[in-house]
Structure 1
Amino acid sequence: MIAWQERTIEQRNLLNPAFCAIAVWHLARGYRTEATELDTSAVGLPFALAFVGASLVLRGQTRDQLPRTITSSLATWVNDHPLERSAVAKGVVVLREPVREALLFGAQHGLLSLDGHRLEASNASSRKINAYLRASSGEVRDCMRQATFVGRWLCKAGAPPTVLALLGVHA
């Protein structure tokens, strides 16, 4: 882990634990929403998909290439966006430490909890997160809106091993 003072300004701003924890919270909320609609028994975001979701959401160029509806299949998107597929796979590796820090931060501050191998977003945090978003830039709000979308989309994409394989992520 790189000491905080040795991180670049970009790392401190975009990849700080609080910001990333809120992004993962939105991923988990989106996943839960879709899992509930699909009436599945497991509604928590699979742990591995937190890293995939962060890679899809935190890189602006990839975020801009995401489909507009969750009915678009991940397999089709991967086929249509081979460079983004590669960027997502690399992003999972690059973001490993920031996402781990975010998960710890989120758990310590009551945003996230781990249930087996699944992440749950705390309902109690909604008001604080919404207040944060109201005071945030449009880009931050867009990032979190897309995180919710990606959580829903990943829920429909299949089992975590399938998602990882489609994106070329090696566990």
Structure 2
Amino acid sequence: MEPTREPNPSPRRPAGVSEEEAALFNPAFISLLYARTIQGWNKESDDDMPLPIAFLAVGLCLHAPTRGQLPGNVSAKYVDWVQRNPDVRAQFPPSVQQLSPLLRSGLLFALGTRVCTLKSPASLVLGNGRPRAAIDGDSADVVSVQRSALFLGRWLSKSGDAASIFGLIGVRP
């Protein structure tokens, strides 16, 4: 049975998001994940990271079942990975739709604190408030999510254009 969502009693919590989700996926942590994703992208590409791909990457690293199925290296082909993991294509689109308010809130936090900045209308770069290079955290999950964000930035930079990346996983930008 699906847990029922309470009405949004707080203007700080997006509608449709439980208190637990809002606490775990707070804007500061999500802004850190955007920065980690951009850091990874910058290791593999001289181009700026397209905003839609950053949004997708952070959603992917927050989705635990998908995070657990990521390949071990950036040379893996994205198209092959999607074909070998059809459950990701089935489970991820509804998950990212549910996470969207949190992803947007984290992005706004990242922009407001200058962790990331918009360089053009559709690309993100690291800002002055960038995190340290070392990945650490209070739990193994926090470290795992950050490492996944860094990996996804690197991997997706080699995986084709945004339309192809989104289309293969069944999500529209």
Is the TM value for this pair above 0.5?
A: yes
The 1:123/1:64 distance shift into structure 2, 3 A limit, reads: farther
Corresponding residue number in structure 2 for 1:39? none
Q: Does the CA contact (< 8 Å) of 2:32 and 2:131 recur in 1?
A: no
The 1:168/1:126 distance shift into structure 2, 3 A limit, reads: same
> Partner letter of residue 124 of structure 2?
L
Alpha-carbon shift at residue 86 of structure 1 (Å): 2.1
With normalisation by structure 1, the TM-score equals: 0.85
Please give the alpha-carbon distance, in whole angstroms, between the structure 2 residues aligned to 1:14 and 1:51: 18
Please give the alpha-carbon distance, in whole angstroms, between the structure 2 residues aligned to 1:64 and 1:165: 21
Q: How does 1:29-48 map onto structure 2 within 5 Å?
A: 29-36=39-46, 42=47, 44-48=48-52
Please give the alpha-carbon distance, in whole angstroms, between the structure 2 residues aligned to 1:23 and 1:144: 6
Corresponding residue number in structure 2 for 1:72? 76
Q: Structure 1 residue 19 and structure 2 residue 32: aligned?
A: no
State the identity as a percent: 29
Residue of 60, 64, 68 corresponding to 2:64? 60
With normalisation by structure 2, the TM-score equals: 0.84
Alpha-carbon shift at residue 51 of structure 1 (Å): 2.2
Ranges in structure 1 where 5+ consecutive residues have no aligned partner: 37-41
Count of aligned positions: 161
Q: How does 1:121-136 map onto structure 2 within 5 Å?
A: 121-122=126-127, 124-127=129-132, 130=134, 134-136=136-138
Query: CA RMSD, aligned part only?
Result: 1.9
Point out the more displaced range, 27-36 or 67-76: 27-36
Alpha-carbon shift at residue 110 of structure 1 (Å): 1.4
> Partner letter of residue 22 of structure 1?
L
Corresponding residue number in structure 1 for 2:94? 90
Deviations 1:133-167 (A, max 9, x none): 54521210111011000011110110101101111
